[in-house]
């Protein structure tokens, strides 16, 4: 019995030691070209889908790899979402700016391998840090009727997949895809409007698709 206990303790110690050795901290930086498509209200009560134009995301992440196959990471990403649509002779250019903070579970084929495939998923909090609308008619005059009001925060579900390559034992190059599906309405219609004004956003949820390229360090 004593030998069995010793073997059990030794096995447990070996398991914990292996897990501790496998645990690595990862610090990285990414650039993320981002695409989104939204529907906007028109002055006559209809809706129109905006032209999807490219926006940009830039940020960093901190990850902890509990094993070579399972980890978690938190990211901070500054993202601009650009949209344009036309209504009669008026062109509306809309820009939304967010600081997004996703908390993701990461599953890997082998974090310490020369080539690693991964999938990630988890909740995301978005903080709106700016929203602008520029409305211009064909004769050069500015329309003041379209109003853009956005809530200060957003909650979404982030998911994605990627591949990273070991350039050295500690430096890795990452390429991948990231999608986000908003879970709440980001439009804010709490302010009073004049008779001729209207909100361009109404019951809108963010949907974004992005690629990314980045460099990370394993410690």
Q: What is the pLDDT of residue 140?
A: 61
Q: What is the pLDDT of residue 144?
A: 54
pLDDT tens-digit series, residues 181-214: 999 999 887 776 766 788 888 788 999 999 999 9
Q: How confident is the prediction for the chain on average, in pLDDT?
A: 86
Q: What is the pLDDT of residue 6?
A: 52
CA dist 34 and 75 (Å) reads: 16
Q: What does the block give as tokens for 165?
A: 């390559």
Q: What is the pLDDT of residue 143?
A: 52
Q: Averaged in consecutive runs of 10 residues, what is the pLDDT profile of the chain (219 residues)?
A: 52 46 82 89 77 88 94 96 84 92 97 95 97 81 73 97 96 98 90 74 89 96
CA dist 128 and 180 (Å) reads: 15
- The torsion angles phi and psi of 161, rounded to 5 degrees, stand at -150, 155
Structural domains present in the chain: 24-218 (2.40.160.20)
3-class DSSP state of 169: coil
CA dist 69 and 14 (Å) reads: 18
Helices and strands, counts by H and E, the chain? 1, 13
CA dist 187 and 206 (Å) reads: 10
């Amino acid at each position: 019995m004593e030998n069995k206990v010793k073997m059990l303790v030794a096995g447990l110690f070996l398991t914990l030691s292996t897990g501790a050795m496998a645990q690595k901290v990862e610090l990285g930086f990414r650039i993320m070209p981002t695409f989104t498509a939204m529907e906007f209200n028109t002055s006559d009560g209809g809706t129109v889908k905006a032209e999807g134009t490219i926006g940009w995301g830039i940020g960093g992440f901190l990850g902890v790899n509990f094993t070579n196959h399972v980890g978690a990471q938190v990211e901070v990403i500054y993202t601009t979402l650009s949209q344009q649509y036309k209504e009669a002779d008026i062109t509306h250019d809309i820009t939304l700016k967010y600081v997004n903070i996703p908390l993701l579970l990461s599953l890997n084929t082998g974090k310490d391998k020369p080539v690693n495939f991964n999938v990630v998923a988890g909740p995301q909090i978005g903080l709106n840090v700016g929203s602008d609308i520029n409305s211009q008619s064909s004769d050069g005059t500015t329309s003041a009727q379209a109003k853009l009001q956005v809530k200060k925060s957003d909650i979404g579900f982030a998911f994605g997949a990627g591949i990273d390559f070991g350039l050295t034992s500690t430096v890795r190059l990452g390429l991948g895809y990231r999608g986000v599906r908003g879970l709440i309405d980001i439009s804010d219609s709490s302010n009073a409007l004049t008779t001729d004004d209207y909100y361009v956003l109404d019951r809108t949820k963010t949907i974004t698709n992005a690629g990314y390229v980045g460099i990370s360090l394993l410690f």
